[in-house]
């Protein structure tokens, strides 16, 4: 079976010439995490429980998009590591104005992929409970 994302076709002159572009795709997300705190006085970013960072393949300092399900706010910041097992999801600095304790958040990372990598592409989705513990399927 041909994969239209990775197989050049005569109907697509750019791909037919062997020119492929990189695509920005979702790499991972932490789905419906509960915001545990906001600290306006702390230096920027979002603090995330180390267990969740690891499960979602997010490194400290990595760019993250934060979508606030409760308010509709969206922001871009970077991740910092909170203590493992703490359940911490905390907006810091100016980002603290974009949420309230108890808000539901989706935290997303993106990566660039070569067209040839997309045949095996799968994003990592980490679902959490009300205490920000990883739900086991």
pLDDT tens-place string over residues 71-122:
999 999 999 999 999 999 999 999 999 999 999 999 999 999 998 889 999 9
Region of 93 (left: φ > 0; alpha: ψ -120 to 50; beta: rest) is left
Q: How far apart are CA 106 and CA 116, in angstroms?
A: 28
Does residue 54 belong to any structural domain of this protein? yes
Containing structural domain, residue 67: 42-114
Q: Is residue 135 part of a domain?
A: no
For residue 68, give the CATH number of its domain: 2.40.40.20
In a domain, 9, yes or no: no
Residues identified as active-site: 45, 78
Find out whether 63 and 109 touch, Cβ atoms under 8 Å: yes
pLDDT tens digits for 84-97? 999 999 999 999 99
Q: How far is residue 70's CA from residue 43's CA, in Å, rounded to a whole number?
A: 24
- Our count of domains for the chain comes to 1
In this structure, is residue 35 part of a structural domain? no
Residue 99 within any structural domain of the chain: yes
Residue 34 within a domain = no
């Amino acid at each position: 079976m041909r994969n239209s994302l990775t197989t050049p076709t005569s109907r697509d002159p750019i791909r037919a010439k062997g020119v492929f572009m990189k695509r920005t795709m979702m790499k991972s997300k932490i789905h419906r995490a509960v915001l545990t705190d906001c600290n306006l006085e702390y230096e920027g970013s979002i603090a995330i429980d180390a267990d969740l960072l690891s499960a979602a393949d997010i490194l400290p300092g990595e760019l993250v998009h934060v979508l606030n399900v409760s308010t509709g706010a969206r922001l871009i910041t970077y991740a910092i590591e909170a203590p493992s097992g703490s359940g911490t999801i905390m907006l810091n600095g100016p980002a603290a104005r974009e949420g309230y304790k108890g808000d539901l958040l989706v935290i997303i990372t993106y990566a660039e992929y070569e067209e040839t990598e997309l045949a095996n592409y799968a994003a990592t989705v980490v679902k959490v409970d009300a205490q920000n513990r990883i739900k086991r399927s």
